Structure 1
Amino acid sequence: MPLRLEPEATFREALAAADRPLAGMWVCSGSPLVAEICAGAGLDWLLIDAEHSPNGLESILAQLQAVNGYPVQAMVRPPVNDTVVFKQYLDLGVQNLLVPMVNSAAEAEAAVAATRYPPHGVRGVGSSLARAARWNRIPDYLARAAETVSVTVQIESEAAVAAVENILAVDGVDAIFLGPADLAASMGLLGQQEHPEVRAAVEHCLTAAKTAGKPAGVNAFNEGTARAYLAGGASFVLVGADVAILARASEALASTYIANDPVAEPVETPDSY
Structure 2
Amino acid sequence: MSLRLTSTFRDALAAASRPLVGMWACSGSPLMAEVDAGSGLDWLLIDMEHGPNSLESVLVQLQVVAAYPITPLVRVASNDTVAIKQVLDLGAQNIIVPMVGSGDEARAAVAATRYPPEGVRGVGSALARSARWNRVDGYLGDGSSHVSLTVQIENGAGVDAAAEIAAVDGVDQVFVGPSDLAASLGYLGQQTHPEVVDAVHRTFAAVHAAGKKVGVNAFDPAAADAYVAQGADFIAVGADVALLARASEALAARFIPTSGRAERASY
What value does the CA root-mean-square deviation take over the aligned residues? Answer: 1.0
- Supply the distance in 1 between the matched residues of 2:213 and 2:225 (Cα, whole angstroms): 16
Structure 2: stretches of 5+ with no match in the other structure: 261-267
Residue correspondence of structure 1 range 14-29 to structure 2 within 5 A: 14-29=12-27
* Cα offsets for 1:66-87 (capped at 9, x unmatched): 1002110000001000000011
What does 1:254-269 correspond to in 2, within 5 Å?
254-259=252-257
CA separation in 2, counterparts of 1:125 and 1:207? 37
- What is the CA deviation profile of residues 97-151 of structure 1, one whole-angstrom value per residue up to 9, with x for unaligned ones? 1100000000000000000000000000010000000000000110011000000
Superposition deviation, residue 261 in structure 1 = 9.0
Q: Give the counterpart letter for 1:7 in structure 2.
A: L
**One-letter amino acid of the structure 2 residue matched with residue 203 of structure 1:** H
Q: Tell me the SS of whatever aligns to 1:59.
A: helix
CA–CA distance in 2 between the matches of 1:192 and 1:254?
27
Distance in structure 2 (CA, Å) of the matches to 1:134 and 1:126: 11
Once the two structures are superposed, what CA deviation does each residue of 1:197-229 show, in whole Å capped at 9, x if it has no partner? 000000011111221111000000111111111
Alpha-carbon distance in structure 1 between the residues aligned to 2:257 and 2:194: 36
Query: Structure 2 CA distance, aligned partners of 1:96 and 1:210?
Result: 20
Q: Which residue pairs with 1:113 in the alignment?
A: 111
How far, CA to CA, are the matches of 1:189 and 1:42 in structure 2? 34
Equivalent in the alignment of 1:271: none
Normalising by structure 1, we get a TM-score of 0.94
SS at 1:132's partner residue?
Answer: helix
Structure 2: how far apart are the matches of 1:95 and 1:203?
28
Q: Which has more helix, going by share of residues?
A: 2
Q: Which residue of 2 aligns with 1:57?
A: 55
Report how many residues are paired: 260
Work out which of the residue numbers 103, 125, 128 in structure 1 matches 2:126: 128
Task: Report the CA distance between 1:259 and its aligned residue.
Answer: 2.5
Please give the residue correspondences for 1:247-258 in structure 2 after superposition, counting only pairs within 5 Å: 247-258=245-256
1:32 to 30, 33, 40: 30
The residue number in structure 1 matching 2:234 is 236
CA distance in 1 between partners of 2:231 and 2:140 (Å): 36
Q: TM (normalized to structure 2)?
A: 0.96
2:144 is matched with which residue? 146
Structure 1 Cα separation of the partners of residues 48 and 146 of structure 2: 21
> 1:55 & 1:65 partners in 2: Cα distance?
14
Report sequence identity in percent: 63
* Aligned mates of 2:258, 2:250 — CA distance in 1: 11
Runs of 4+ in structure 1 over 4 Å off: none
For residues 157-177 of structure 1, what are the alpha-carbon distances to aligned partners after superposition, in whole Å with 9 as ceiling and x for unaligned?
A: 000000001001100000000
SS at match of 1:48: strand
Tell me the equivalent position of 1:208.
Answer: 206
Report the residue type matching 2:245 in the other structure: A
Q: Name the aligned partner's letter for residue 174 of structure 2.
A: I
